[in-house]
Structure 1
Amino acid sequence: MAQRELWHPECGRVPVRRSADDGGNDPQAATPQCPHSSKIRGGQGKFGWLKRPENAGLFLPALEIFLLSLPFVGMACVIDRQGYVTRYRERHHRLWYICKMAFCVLAERAAKFADDNGRKLEIFFERSGNKEDRSIIQYMRELEREGNPFNQQTSGVYTPLSAEDYHRNILGEPRWKTKEVAMIQIADLVLYPMAKGGYDSSYNPYRKLKESGKLIDCLLTEDQILVGGNQYSCFDTQKD
């Protein structure tokens, strides 16, 4: 693996990884090792120059235009941690992991969307740690073995998928990607405003996604949103 650098007038040197033969066979070849969206939002690291208002005023609108020009559909399951603990602590002796709940909801709704459009779903996720990565793969195996894990009496209104449905609609097991992969960075930039929109529907980046029709809810009827749209769970107040 060879190491090369690009030069940005504000960021300085940005390292780029290429395969040894420079032939483009490496899926992460020529991908700038850019920081997470948190670095952009906080003006940290190589994006420290964004702390200057004149720089942010040029860069952030251009970033917005770029993101909204991409062909994607934003889907999310956002769970308020404190609301989750408050709601379920008295009902259940042992609480589910929030990440498991979010994964199961999101995998099901993404599979439904793919199936409705005559496609198969392939799942990629950002690598975070060996234990966490194994857990995500295990969640998927359980869905394909047992189907939807939620209480059938309370979740029936959401038309849950069966184990057979998951086998039919999803290709293989979830695969991890590092944060160096461009699409992981883009997904992170889109996810943050979707999550924050659960707390503040007037948050401008969230409104822009909604107004541009980039959210799954924009493509569904009101009845369809209940079973296939973005889900905001355990919030004390209703999101607009």
Structure 2
Amino acid sequence: MSRPITFYMDETGNRHPDKKSDKSREGRDWFGFGGVLIRGEDNDGLRNDIQDFSEKWKLTKPLHMTDMLSEKKAFAWLGRCSQSKVDEFWSDWRNVLSSKPIIGLGCVIDRPGYVKRGYLEKYEDKWLLCRSAFDIAVERAVKIANIEGRRLHIVFEQDAGINSTITGYFKNLKEKGLSFDESNSASYMPLDKSSFVNTLGRIQHKPKDHPLLQVADSYIYAMARNGYDKKFHIYRHLRDAKRIANFCLPQEHIRQMGVK
């Protein structure tokens, strides 16, 4: 198990279930954790594609999906372009996202639904939403890595306030395995501790301008938004290109390894 595959992970939405949702997220209030699985042999090629895209569009700031869509901050200039130019920009970025055989994977949780099911009162843990999403996404990534006989590494977008927390989730998986209720999770065929020990390699945090984390940002946003907006163009393109786990894995693996 020497060939590596790396899970580049980012968050989307608010990780705290007890925080009141702002009006801009009404009707699509999610928290998602995930991104893309990239095989070692595809790493450099994807980096080159991102660099070519950034040079063509003279970009100097990270490709953050919400800024791109809202045409704000570093992407305010998109609002001053012709529609044909905007269409060209998005076509180019969609092509970058699907240029290599990477796998979009993650866990997306509806925050109001989480609270409504009573998890906040039951567990009294404001971090449980985040840890659950991380554990579920990583476990599914481990299963995919096992099928391919690869070592799995994790890279996530750094944030001084949570770096140690996320690293702690990773260490807990290696030391204790999953902590979900066995009767509720049995149909997902959860892995035992030894699977994490044998497959997980290292975990690192990198700044948001890391090119492959920018790809992860677009993927996890698209996967999250798909649950609320079936017409979102980025997701549709990734779906059609078979870059989302649910569309590139064999049908029998999707329940245990697809986007949750």
The bucket for the TM-score relative to the shorter chain is 0.7 to 0.9
Alpha-carbon separation, structure 2, partners of 1:86 and 1:116: 36
Task: Tell me: CA distance 1:138–1:69, structure 2 relative to 1, closer, same or farther (3 Å).
Answer: same
Please, which of 202, 208, 213 is the counterpart of residue 237 of structure 2?
Answer: 208
Please, which of 61, 82, 106 is the counterpart of residue 91 of structure 2?
Answer: 61
Q: Percent identity?
A: 29
Q: Give the aligned partner of residue 80 of structure 1.
A: 110
Q: Conserved in 2, the CA contact under 8 Å of 1:10 and 1:49?
A: no
Paired residues, number:
204
Q: Give the aligned partner of residue 142 of structure 2.
A: 111
Gaps of 5+ in 2: 1-53
Alpha-carbon separation, structure 1, partners of 2:170 and 2:224: 23
Gaps of 5+ in 1: 1-6, 15-31, 232-240
Alpha-carbon separation, structure 2, partners of 1:149 and 1:156: 12
Task: Tell me: CA distance 1:80–1:226, structure 2 relative to 1, closer, same or farther (3 Å).
Answer: same
> Shift of the alpha carbon at 1:57?
2.3
Larger RCO (alpha carbons 8 Å, 6+ apart): 2
Task: Name whichever of 45-54 and 184-193 sits farther off.
Answer: 45-54
Please, which of 68, 78, 95 is the counterpart of residue 40 of structure 1?
Answer: 68
Per-residue displacement from partner, 1:93-150 (whole Å, max 9, x unpaired)? 5246211000000110000000101111000000122x31111111111111111110
Task: Tell me: CA distance 1:10–1:227, structure 2 relative to 1, closer, same or farther (3 Å).
Answer: closer
Superposition CA RMSD, Å = 2.2
> Shift of the alpha carbon at 1:76?
1.1
Per-residue displacement from partner, 1:194-219 (whole Å, max 9, x unpaired)? 11001122322111111110011112
Alpha-carbon separation, structure 1, partners of 2:97 and 2:119: 39
Q: What secondary structure, in the 3-state scheme, does the structure 2 residue paired with 1:78 have?
A: strand
Alignment of 1:2-13 (within 5 A): none
Please, which of 88, 95, 101 is the counterpart of residue 132 of structure 2?
Answer: 101
Larger radius of gyration: 1
- Scaled by the length of structure 1, the TM-score of the pair is 0.78
**Amino acid of the residue matched to residue 85 of structure 1?**
V
Alpha-carbon separation, structure 2, partners of 1:137 and 1:155: 24
Q: Give the aligned partner of residue 19 of structure 1.
A: none
Runs of 4 or more, structure 1, over 6 Å off, are: 7-10
